[in-house]
């Protein structure tokens, strides 16, 4: 079983240029271009079904569901922390 990482970025979530980045640790067979395309399709379907009411968590849930359907194990790495100094 192979460990791979996928970075999900929800761009400009607040209209002021703020991006939300979450990283998934994925275990299983190699992730192919086809796998990525199906993840994108799952997210687009979620957005279309929830027009105007979708959120980042729902998109991540759709991605995780698609990966799990394909036999992958998904764990989410803690959201990024910010340290200002």
pLDDT, tens only, 34-60: 999 999 999 999 999 999 899 999 999
Mean pLDDT of the chain: 91
The percentage of the chain sitting over the pLDDT mark of 90, rounded to a whole number, equals: 73
| Backbone phi and psi for residue 70, each to the nearest 5 degrees, phi listed first | -85, 5
Q: Tell me how far apart the alpha carbons of residues 72 and 27 are, in angstroms, rounded to a whole number.
A: 6
- State the alpha helices, DSSP H only, in 4-80: 33-49, 56-69
Q: For residue 82, what pLDDT band results from cuts at 50, 70 and 90?
A: low
Name the helix (H) or strand (E) containing 6.
strand 2-10
pLDDT at 40: 97
Residue linked to tokens 């979620």: 46
Q: What is the dihedral of CA 3, 32, 11, 80, to 10 degrees?
A: 0
pLDDT at 18: 85
């Amino acid at each position: 079983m192979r460990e791979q990482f996928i970075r999900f970025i929800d761009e400009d979530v607040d209209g002021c240029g703020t991006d939300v980045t979450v990283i998934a640790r994925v275990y299983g067979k190699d992730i192919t271009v086809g796998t990525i395309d199906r993840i994108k399709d799952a997210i687009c379907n979620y957005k279309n079904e929830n027009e105007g009411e979708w959120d980042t968590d729902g998109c991540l849930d759709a991605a995780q569901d698609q990966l799990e359907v394909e036999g992958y194990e998904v764990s989410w790495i803690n959201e990024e922390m910010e340290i200002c100094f």
